[in-house]
Structure 1
Amino acid sequence: MVNKLLLFLFLISPLLSNSQQYVDLLNISYYKSGDTNFTNSSKSTSISIFDSKITLPIVLNEKTALITGFDFNIKKLQLFPNSNFSNLYYTRLKLGFATDHSDKWIGTYVLLPILSSDYKNISSDDIYLGGIAVWTYKKRKNFNYKFGLYTGNEAFGFYITPLVGIYYISPNSGFEISALIPGLFDVNFGVSNKTRLGIDYKGNSETFKIQNDKALTTYLENNSLEFSSYLQNNSLDKNLLLRLKIGYSTNSYDVYAVDDKINLSITPFKFGNNRTKLNSELDYSAFLKVEAIYRFPISSK
């Protein structure tokens, strides 16, 4: 009974785990870029990001479980050449549930209230509301399909993101692939009992309200893509995964006037996007990232 409850509870979701074999209860990482140049300028900046994710599931019964937790990250960079470094804070609560619709279909539904700004004079203007729904079709015990929708409001307006993905792990667990496009993609394989090599991709999309001279006049929209290769080891503890990542990232930290919005965003398209960007483009940059994950294994029996 316990294994059945846990297996049901921790099914694939971008907010929980990308597989049916485990759930990541805690994920902490630190990201540091190399020099990142402003386009058409001799000036550059660096980007540092501290990121943490916590998931706290609560089993209600054999078919239903609550999903709770929160994400928190801090980004530090210069938004303009010669400007001071800005600190951008992002806090997202997770509250929802997972339910077993049938032997083949599982649904995960989560509300995502977000507080996102430079945290100066925090008000209701810094709060957004989003939500995600993901349906998993279990083709086989080691292979499934995923379909979903992520939607909500941001500083620029309303957005909708369709989701599609897969999960597969080989019978000997030597090869694993998990994806939920457009945001997540990971392929890894074992080189020993304690070590795995992998490549992954992560898409970030978020907005932050920014105070200027104690007035809310601008917001920042971040759309960045991270491509990396990584080395993973769990020698310290079988459930504690330590990763060292080296990669390359696009950098889109665009500043707009607070009332400069679009009509609608359906990823990857923006309709009525006649906004005027107030800062310079940032070039691509290399980055180094260290990550610690506490992973709870689940029996597949």
Structure 2
Amino acid sequence: MKKKIIQLLFLILPFLCSAQEYIDLFSVNYGKSQEKTFEDSSVNTSISTFQTNLTLPVVLNEKYIAVTGVNFSSYSLQLFPDSNNNHLYSTNLRAGLSVKHSEHWSGLYLFLPKVASDYINVSNKDIYLGGLALLKYKRNENFGYGLGLYGSSEAYGMSVVPIITFYYHSPDKRFEINAFMPNDADINYSLTDKTRIGVDFLGHGNSYKLTTDNIRSNYVENNSLDFSSYVQRSILDNKILLRLKLGYSLNEFRVYPIDQKLDLQILALKFGDNRTRLFEDKSNTILLKMEAIYRFDLSKVKK
């Protein structure tokens, strides 16, 4: 029975990755930016972030794998100089299929609903629907790439994002590049069997409805870019990865009336944007983040 389970787990490799021999089943991180001052104000504020991600692949057969999971993220920050801290939350569900089309080609097709707001008086109006279609090509054991499209409804309207993925792992397994653009990218190098150094990029884009005096009258559009360098230490036979990150964060939070939307957004291009911005908070700050990842190493299973 144990042998069959291991064989099924190893089948996950060509589905969920371009070429890498591992799966990050669970991760959690917490970050905090340095304090900054609002424009034309003496009030200081900082941004705290928390994120956790769980992925649960279920092998159906040699061609299909059901992909399920959940991601939860939160921001804590002061949106206005004269207000208390606002708390913005997003819970994203994943459900879909990974399909092995041929020896080199595979596809990932996901339904991605989410609930995003300040979670005060949550209702069905806080639910947004999205989806992802990604086609991946695995050239060999060390290199792969893919193209896809992500779309989602948001508080401000419809958002569409073209996706490009890229993966390279050096034959000696010391150097690695993993990118899922424009969302994230990671470049790292192994100093020892348990220690790695790297740099990464993470892009955030979301919208949250706000409650003021028990009324939903506004929403926040958030766009953030985090650039970090990190040191990673592996423990428990390299199953747990601990990372300490130091970087620079570019944050943008814009508040709009809840009834004002744009026609369509494709990446940073906005069509039919006649909205009235009520408030804008732009801040570039130093970011300190701690991260823990549970990684299932398929290369060890293969051996």
TM-score by length of 1: 0.94
Q: Secondary structure at the match of 1:284?
A: strand
Q: Secondary structure at the match of 2:282?
A: coil
1:92 match: 92
1:286 match: 286
Contact 2:18–2:144 (8 Å) recurs in 1? no
The 1-side partners of 2:162 and 2:248 are apart by 25
Match runs of 1:137-286 below 5 Å: 137-286=137-286
Q: Which amino acid aligns with 2:280?
A: S
The 2-side partners of 1:280 and 1:39 are apart by 10
Comparing 291-300 with 56-65, which one deviates more in the overlay? 291-300
Cα pair distance change 1:18/1:105, threshold 3 Å:
closer
Instruction: Give the unaligned 5+ runs of structure 2.
Output: none
Q: Secondary structure at the match of 2:162?
A: strand
1:9 match: 12
Cα pair distance change 1:11/1:248, threshold 3 Å:
farther
Contact 1:38–1:280 (8 Å) recurs in 2? no
Q: Which amino acid aligns with 2:271?
A: F
The 1-side partners of 2:281 and 2:219 are apart by 15
Comparing 277-286 with 239-248, which one deviates more in the overlay? 277-286
The 2-side partners of 1:11 and 1:226 are apart by 29
The 1-side partners of 2:72 and 2:19 are apart by 23
The 2-side partners of 1:69 and 1:88 are apart by 21
Contact 2:264–2:271 (8 Å) recurs in 1? yes
1:3 deviates by 6.2
2:134 match: 134
- After superposition, give the CA deviation of every residue in 1:121-172 in whole Å (9 maximum; x if it has no partner): 1111100001111111011111001111100100000111001121000011
Q: Secondary structure at the match of 2:9?
A: helix
The 1-side partners of 2:77 and 2:35 are apart by 11
Contact 2:115–2:127 (8 Å) recurs in 1? yes
Contact 1:39–1:280 (8 Å) recurs in 2? no
Cα pair distance change 1:146/1:86, threshold 3 Å:
same
Structure 1 residue ranges, 4+ long, deviating more than 2 angstroms after superposition: 1-13, 17-20, 36-44
- After superposition, give the CA deviation of every residue in 1:56-82 in whole Å (9 maximum; x if it has no partner): 111101110101110112211000013
Instruction: Give the unaligned 5+ runs of structure 1.
Output: none
Q: Which amino acid aligns with 1:112?
A: L
The 1-side partners of 2:97 and 2:81 are apart by 45
The share of aligned pairs that are identical, in percent, is: 45
- The alignment yields a C-alpha RMSD, in angstroms, of 1.7
Contact 2:11–2:59 (8 Å) recurs in 1? no
Q: Which amino acid aligns with 1:144?
A: G
TM-score by length of 2: 0.94
1:36 match: 36
Q: Secondary structure at the match of 2:125?
A: helix
Contact 2:150–2:162 (8 Å) recurs in 1? yes
Cα pair distance change 1:220/1:139, threshold 3 Å:
same
The 2-side partners of 1:181 and 1:93 are apart by 20
The 1-side partners of 2:15 and 2:65 are apart by 14
Cα pair distance change 1:39/1:10, threshold 3 Å:
farther
1:281 deviates by 2.5
Cα pair distance change 1:242/1:74, threshold 3 Å:
same
Matched, 1:122 2:122: yes
Q: Secondary structure at the match of 1:290?
A: strand
Contact 1:262–1:275 (8 Å) recurs in 2? yes
Contact 1:134–1:149 (8 Å) recurs in 2? yes
